[in-house]
Amino acid sequence: MKKYTKYILLLMVLTIQTNVFAGGPWPQNKGKGYFKLSEWWTVFDQHYTDLGKIDPNLTTGIFNTNLYAEYGLTNRITTIVNMPLFSRNYMNNLRSATTSEIIIPGESINSVGDLDLGFKYGLSKPGAKIAVSATLILGIPLGQTAGGSLENLQTGDGEFNQMVQFDFGKSFQINNIPAYISAFTGINNRTNEFSEEFRIGGEIGLGLMDSKLWVNTRINAVESLKNGATAETVNSTSIFANNTEYLSLGFEANLYLSKNIGISAGFATALRGEIIAAAPSYSVGVFLDLK
């Protein structure tokens, strides 16, 4: 069974979870905010190994119901909350390849996930041609670190992490169509023998239908510094693996149904990876934009 559970690993919450925020480098104005309730999930039966190869595994999945919020404390300081209110991690039955008998029954756990709490500060003045911001993101371990009979199901990693991120962006127009481009880079410090991570990414967005429909493309990369414990000495068999690396490509569409309320849908996939799922992730949500 160890062969199957060692790499039962999911994509990190690519589009989010910890490093992709709705505002990019632009802080919210004082008293304004952005609030989103969404469902994110991925189901996979193969994974990238620590050598970047693809191997099969038991069908495994995770579903997160997330609350994401940005609120402007001042015109240059925004507080950010990303909370998985409900997280379900499961794996299917392990069956004999010859008799199809169930060797180990499938299992699941349900819990809250790890909380991300952030503070974004606008380094550039409001209205600057190029927006620059700095963000401190604190990962607070609230999820379950070991569940199921083999204790290989998780909704949290049990470690407190701190990430410093810098965002850069510019808004412009293409034939009277509003558009923007942004990029970020950051360092994620992880405790409990997890390796630190270097993160970098970019995003391009367009506002269509008189800015009622916004579509964007994102590319993100995570590179582990591999200065922590090895995979063999840290029991991490969910989206919380140590020494995970990936290059991901994602797409998202946000449709305003009214001035402030809208719906969103997106997906992301890994172009390359180590110790992650070889399968796409999906998300749908509803948002409130207090402009």
String of DSSP letters for 41-110: EEEEEEEE-TTS-EEEEEEEEEEEEEEEEEEESSSSEEEEEEEEEEEEEEE--EE-TTT--EEE--EEEE
Looking at the DSSP bridge assignments, the partners of residue 107 are 91
Closest CA to 230 of 2, 50, 47: 50
Give tens-digit pLDDT for 54-77: 988 888 899 999 999 999 999 999
Is there a contact between 218 and 24 (Cβ–Cβ < 8 Å)? no
pLDDT above 90 covers a percentage of the chain that reads: 66
Structure tokens at 140: 């607070």
Q: How far apart are CA 21 and CA 46, in angstroms?
A: 29
Q: How far apart are CA 213 and CA 193, in angstroms?
A: 43
Closest CA to 216 of 178, 261, 162: 178
Give tens-digit pLDDT for 186-200: 999 999 989 999 999
Structure tokens at 165: 């991120």
The reported pTM is 0.88
Structure tokens at 157: 């990693």
How sure is the predictor about 102, in pLDDT bands with cuts at 50, 70 and 90?
A: confident
Give tens-digit pLDDT for 111-166: 999 999 999 999 998 889 999 999 999 999 999 988 888 788 888 888 999 999 99
Arithmetic mean of pLDDT over the chain: 87
Phi first, then psi: what are they for 29, rounded to 5°? -70, 160
Break the chain into its structural domains and give their ranges: 2-290
Q: Give the model's pLDDT for residue 4.
A: 40
Homologous superfamily of the 2-290 domain (CATH):
Autotransporter beta-domain (2.40.128.130)
